[in-house]
Chains A and B, each alone.
Chain A
Amino acid sequence: MPDDIHVPIKSDLDIVAARQRGRELAAGAGFSATDVTLIATAISELARNIVSYAKQGEIVLRLVENSGTRGIMIVGRDAGPGIANLGDAMRDGFSTSGGLGLGLPGIKRLMDRFDIESELGRGTTVSVCKWLR
């Protein structure tokens, strides 16, 4: 796909920028107002995790197609400390940054597909998708 949008995430201001770019892309692709808000909320949480845990990273936004179904893919990528225990991190109410601890499982509920890869000392990549219905 030629149209990847890369949004560098370095501070809380970039969180707002990332979700606005995602909102525009999703609305342009024909997502409903509700889905656009779900997507923008997921981007906000992904970008916040980057700022809170890794200090910096990027959000990549991409329109995708899978056997005739179009969708939007969002990747949150950082080279931060990584997640020691993914099982813990995917449990509701778990947080190590003093946040609300709703991050990853909440993001999973907002979207249709959720993948996470993390390696200690190397960073974390979270990929999520929402399909256009």
Chain B
Amino acid sequence: MEVPILKQGRFLIATIQAALSDADLQHLRRALVERVVRFRSRGVVVDVTALDVMDSFATRTLLDITHMIRLRGADTVIVGIQPEVAFAMVQLGLTLEGVSTALDLEEGLAHLNQRAQEGA
């Protein structure tokens, strides 16, 4: 299942719409980094509201995405981690150290706008 990536001005929005396989997650990583370069994007929101599980692979891929995009000078915000998913992640010992998170898409975009203004 491919994750749609929407371009909104200087930002990209990737909305995960169903459970993803490892291959889907790797495809998302490639597609996002490629598009950040192509559109000279300043920020990315990854909406994981529909993700049923954040296991070690999903967490590591989101960390990779954030770090790769940071190397391009852009910010990433992960939004929509469900409460029960957050609980399972903590039990499993997974953290998103150094990654910005926000409640939902709106707050994620607000965060990116704020970061862009600070940088300007």
Q: What residues on A are CB-neighbors of B53 within 8 Å? A: 19, 37, 40-41, 44
Contact indicator B20/A106 (Cβ below 8 Å): no
Chain A 29-62 interface residues, beta-carbon cutoff 8 Å to B = 33-34, 36-38, 40-41, 44-45, 48
Majority secondary structure of chain A interface residues (helix, strand, loop or mixed): helix
Judging by beta carbons under 8 Å apart, are B93 and A109 in contact? yes
From the candidates B55, B60, B83, name the one contacting A44 in the complex (CB within 8 A). B55
List the count of A-B residue pairs having beta carbons below 8 Å apart.
77
| B71 contacts chain A at the CB level, 8 A cutoff | no
B106 contacts chain A at the CB level, 8 A cutoff: no
Measured between beta carbons, the chain B residues less than 8 angstroms from A45 are 55-56, 92
Q: Which residues of B contact A15 (CB under 8 A)?
A: 21-22
The segment from A65-73, A74-82, A96-104 found at the interface with B is: A96-104
Q: A23-B52, A34-B83 are in contact. List 9 more A-B contacts (CB 8 A).
A: A33-B84, A37-B85, A38-B87, A41-B88, A45-B92, A99-B57, A99-B60, A102-B92, A106-B94
A-B residue pairs, 4 tightest by C-beta: A12-B22, A106-B92, A37-B84, A44-B55
A residues neighboring B (CB under 8 Å) = 12-13, 15-16, 19-20, 23, 33-34, 36-38, 40-41, 44-45, 48, 92, 99-100, 102-103, 105-107, 109-110
